[in-house]
Amino acid sequence: MKKLFLVVLVIFAHNAFAQKLSESEKEILMLQDQRSLGDGRLIAYLSNTDELLRYRAAIALANIQDTATVGMLLPSLRDVSPMVRSAAAFALGQIGSAKAEDSLLSSLKRETNPETFGRIAEALGKCGTEDALVTLAGLQLSRAVESERNKLVLAVSRFALRQIKTERAIWFCFDQLSSPEASVRWSALVGLWRAAPLRVIDIEIAKRAAELQKLVNDSSPDVRMHFATLLGKAKVDEATDLLQQLSTAEWKRSEWRVQVNTVRALGALVPTEPDHLPDFLAYLASKNDHVVVATLQITATLSPALIFGYAEKSKLEADLVALTNAVNRADMVRGEALVVLGRQFPTKVNANLLRDAGVSSRLKSKVIEALSYTPSVENFKLLAHYLEHDSVRVSMAAWDFFRRVANPSAISEYMKQDTTLKNVREQLHRKIQSALNRRDMAITTLVANTAGDTAFFALFKDTEFADKVLGELTASYRRLSSPDDTEAMQAVLDALGRIGSQAQVPLLEKALQDPDRTVALYAAAALQRITGKDYSKSVPQSSKPLYTDYDWKTLDELSLSSRLVITTSKGTVTLQLLKDHAPFTVLNIVKLARKGFYNGLNFHRVVPNFVIQGGDPRGDGWGGPGYAIRSEFSLINYERGMAGIASAGKDTEGCQFFVVHSPQPHLDGRYTIFAKVLEGMDVVDETQVGDTILKVEVKN
């Protein structure tokens, strides 16, 4: 009977959402978008006779996240509608106040609806104290909610994200590893590795090694990948043995997502157990670019002394050089191989690639990164030259890594070796001035980060150029405006605070009134560094929405089956748009797609077994549509294939989107989900940095 009730609930929700938005729904959505309680109107909807309006009101409060509304939401935990109770629990978790803990615990113990039970557990994971964690770990589930055990288990990892851990919770997670449900097993493993390293975890792994061995051949890739991550964080021999078995087994299975996590786990062991270096480096021979990239990224972080003592050092060097020259491999593979050479074999970095017209700006940026690891007068002059390169991407890389070769003590040595550097302060000031005059938000951010580095700024201290550099930064700040330049504004304010000039106090005090709250927060922090006073009370409570689009006609024209078809150079990916969970985000994406905004853009960011990200008009991660939309958090979680909107913090979304390779519960409630992959997940898995979005179409 309970299962039938759940089915009826799902059908009701689907039918209710399928209808055109009522005037009341529109008002709730507008209040949510404006981050406003509407002089009590939004709260009044919590007691409306229409459960859909009560549901939408609770979701709106989950997005506004005003702690003053906690007490107003608590009665909704007893609402007759499971859908409303779920939304209320979600809202309380998003607000994150421990004041809701007792009510959430009481609701959890009496709840009989599985979905709502899971939402309450999730909320407790986001806002509960250690006492709540102990209660969850000892809870006996009724048959009615047993199907949501994975949500209860996953709540442990949400506590761990907030550094709340208990031995009882650790034992609870280990006990769940024998569950017949894969979702419960991998959720338990996430809870364990999020809590690790922890002595009790090591003890349990050693004690349960024989039992844990079955996870090596678990049928679920999600289980095996999280098992690998856990083993990489453990500090006992039994974990190392299990990881070795898993690595051997994964070579035969060739499941790239598990191999990526296995590589990272082995890489975590290598610094203290060098005997595992050959097994780790063997993954450089993988045919999967994600696996190779993950291996290279970790190899770059290893101690040069460790690599120097490696018996097969010459072969490794040759393999790396071969990868940098492998024109058939992705730029990211070649680029990360260059970075490893820069760290481990600096004489093998081919600086001539910078002058090769056939080499992409992405790859040239990696050459610059590789050279920056070796401070020398030659590399200093080379990077200084590229600070003013015509390519924004190359110039950005030079500014990003310049500090490695430009500390005052190193420059003093360079000046002794090269007389052309006797006016280096004047030369660097001119380059700062030239860079800021480009009025590029990304370059401005990186220049500010460099100038704000106290070690770098010490080069100008007590000279005429100190005031000149400060003058360039303040002039640049006055040309910036939110939301387009928010990150640059933050960086400049941070730099001014670190440099610590009293002359900048008036500008910083004015910045306290910026409509973007994050900018005001940076101004307050800078002022506190300079004056020692607390300016937090002068910061607005929330950002003022500068952009709205309430095009209800276009939104109503979209059905629940509307799709976004993305044709890429690797194939086609079809997304189902989730307009009822993220209406304004979907509206924004649809309008951009119909204008052809995405056609011809690239995927600029790929993190193996995490995300692919694209939709940036600049192609470097710094671009946007010229405005910012608000975050839209909902009762949708980041499962494999979910599509989200990139942001630089709450309410800073624009046009960049990402698709996750695997479940990412730590993103839940932090990044808007606007769609999910219906077809083409294999294309998502194959996508690399530089792959092109040929066209994006909206289909109903």
Inside any domain, residue 386: no
Helix, strand or coil, per DSSP, at residue 102: helix
63 lies in the same domain as 184: yes
How far apart, in whole angstroms, are the C-alpha atoms of residue 382 and residue 397? Answer: 12
468 lies in the same domain as 574: no
599 lies in the same domain as 470: no
49 lies in the same domain as 131: yes
Q: Which residues of 59-86 are buried (b: 16+ CB within 10 A; e: fewer)?
A: bbbbbbbeeebbebbbebbebebbbbbb
CA 208 vs CA 52, 204, 238, 607: distances in Å: 48, 6, 9, 33
Q: What pLDDT sits at residue 17?
A: 61
> Where is the domain boundary, 507, 523, 544?
544
669 lies in the same domain as 533: no
How far apart, in whole angstroms, are the C-alpha atoms of residue 381 and residue 386? Answer: 9
Inside any domain, residue 358: no
626 closest CA partner among 675, 672, 592, 594: 592
Judge whether 338 and 356 are in contact, CB under 8 Å: no
First vs last C-alpha separation in the chain:
35
Q: What pLDDT sits at residue 170?
A: 98
Inside any domain, residue 284: no
Query: H/E element holding 658?
Result: strand 657-660
Inside any domain, residue 458: yes
80 lies in the same domain as 31: yes
Q: What pLDDT sits at residue 543?
A: 75
How far apart, in whole angstroms, are the C-alpha atoms of residue 675 and residue 641? Answer: 9
515 lies in the same domain as 575: no
> Where is the domain boundary, 191, 225, 242?
242
Secondary structure letter of residue 180 according to DSSP:
S
Inside any domain, residue 326: no
Q: Is 254 left (phi over 0), alpha (psi -120 to 50) or beta?
A: left
Q: Where are the beta strands (DSSP E) in 492-646?
A: 563-568, 571-577, 603-607, 611-614, 642-645
Inside any domain, residue 529: yes
340 closest CA partner among 304, 291, 382, 286: 304
Owner of token pair 């009481």: 106
Owner of token pair 């059908």: 11
Query: H/E element holding 699?
Result: strand 693-699
530 lies in the same domain as 564: no
How far apart, in whole angstroms, are the C-alpha atoms of residue 119 and residue 471? Answer: 52
90 lies in which domain range?
Answer: 21-213+237-242
Look up the pTM and report it: 0.94
Please name the residues in contact with 129: beta carbons below 8 A apart, sequence gap of 6 or more: 98, 101, 164
580 lies in the same domain as 655: yes
> Where is the domain boundary, 544, 573, 592?
544
- Which CATH number is 609's domain given? 2.40.100.10
Q: How many domains are there within the chain?
A: 3
Please name the residues in contact with 264: beta carbons below 8 A apart, sequence gap of 6 or more: 228, 229, 232, 294, 298
What is the mean pLDDT for each group of 10 consecutive residues in the chain (700 residues)? 40 54 97 96 98 98 97 98 98 98 98 98 98 97 96 98 97 98 98 97 98 98 98 97 97 94 97 95 96 98 96 97 95 98 97 94 97 96 96 97 93 93 95 97 97 94 94 96 89 97 95 91 96 93 84 95 97 98 98 98 98 97 94 98 94 96 98 98 98 97
526 lies in the same domain as 560: no
Q: What pLDDT sits at residue 394?
A: 97
Inside any domain, residue 350: no
596 lies in the same domain as 621: yes
Q: How far does Cα 252 stand from its chain's mean position?
A: 31
Judge whether 320 and 348 are in contact, CB under 8 Å: yes
Inside any domain, residue 119: yes
CB atoms within 10 A of CB 666: 15
483 lies in the same domain as 523: yes
CB atoms within 10 A of CB 675: 29
Q: What pLDDT sits at residue 540?
A: 85
How far apart, in whole angstroms, are the C-alpha atoms of residue 384 and residue 377? Answer: 10
CB atoms within 10 A of CB 552: 15
